[in-house]
Copies of this chain bind each other. A is one copy, B any other.
Amino acid sequence: MSNAIIAAWNMSLEGVKAACELLKNGGEAPEAVKKAVNLVEDNPGFSSVGYGGLPNRLGEVELDAAYMDGSTGYYGGILGAKGIANPIDAAIKLSKRHLNCLLSGAGAEQFARIEGLAFKNMLTAESKKKWEEALEKEKTSPGAYRGHDTVCVIVRKDKHIAAGVSTSGLFMKEPGRIGDSPIVGAGLYADSAIGAVSATGHGEDIIRGCLSYEAVRLMEQGRSAQEACKTALAAHIARMKSKGFAIKDVSLVALGADGSFGAATNLKDGEFTFVYADETHPPAVWTISGGVQHIAAR
């Protein structure tokens, strides 16, 4: 089986390239997830993840991250934490624990300090400026909730699949707001025997559908990664619509243990991008056309 990496959004391209190098040099899936996510977290140019992530309504950057190892079933996450330079590193360390593996706020920060992780002020001058501008036009609401572009990375190395996500969440969110990202089953789900899925978009809608879990479950029933993503998203949209509930932006990326990969979105053609690489496909940006019905297939 070919080793492979898939990651949501074109911002992951450099990270995926670095992770591919790492795999070629003998690195394993967990290290590759960490590498790809770290490069996005560290880049102040990406306004929805890590350093330079856009802040909450109070001007504070609050971070969510999670990691799941598909071979051991272990996962860890942090939510609503501040100042941790690389949130995914805290999530990976927490995934070694059975209990107390999901920590919020000050508890997550204390854990990171004890583990010797780096801290920094995650608000850049650029992010601060965007926040000040948003405060100015405060009442023009929904548009303010842009910037939900979570970094989602899934790596398959040999028979080992691992997934990691990291985000600063919705721009101008309420303080303490938690999205899907740190929640196993919502923001990510990995099972090395089946595959892994990760989600990006409006977390409140993703978590309500347990979308990453549901798509992995569909793969377990024999669907390809692509079919699983499409089916899970379409079914969730239909179910919520039947209740009069219109879900907002949701996109999924997936790798199957069978070698398949896939993605689905309810964004307009071309709006959702992802990065894919395997041993015959060098890292490149892909997109989706035709909404949830079509994909730039292999």
Contact = CB atoms under 8 A, between A and B. Distances in A.
A244 interface: yes
A108 B79 CA distance: 13
Oligomeric state, in copies: 2
Contact of A204 (B101, B204, B240, B242): B101
Chain A's interface size range is 35 or more
Nearest to A64: B104
Given A184-B207, A213-B213, A108 B243 contact: no
Contacts of A244: 72
B104 A204 contact: no
B240 A73 contact: yes
A73 B236 CA distance: 11
Which 5 pairs, one residue from A and one from B, show the smallest C-beta to C-beta distance? A107-B176, A107-B175, A185-B210, A105-B105, A80-B104
25 contacts: A71-B243, A73-B239, A73-B240, A79-B79, A80-B107, A99-B170, A99-B173, A100-B177, A100-B204, A102-B177, A102-B179, A103-B176, A104-B104, A104-B178, A105-B106, A110-B175, A110-B176, A184-B210, A185-B185, A185-B210, A191-B239, A210-B210, A213-B213, A213-B214, A217-B217
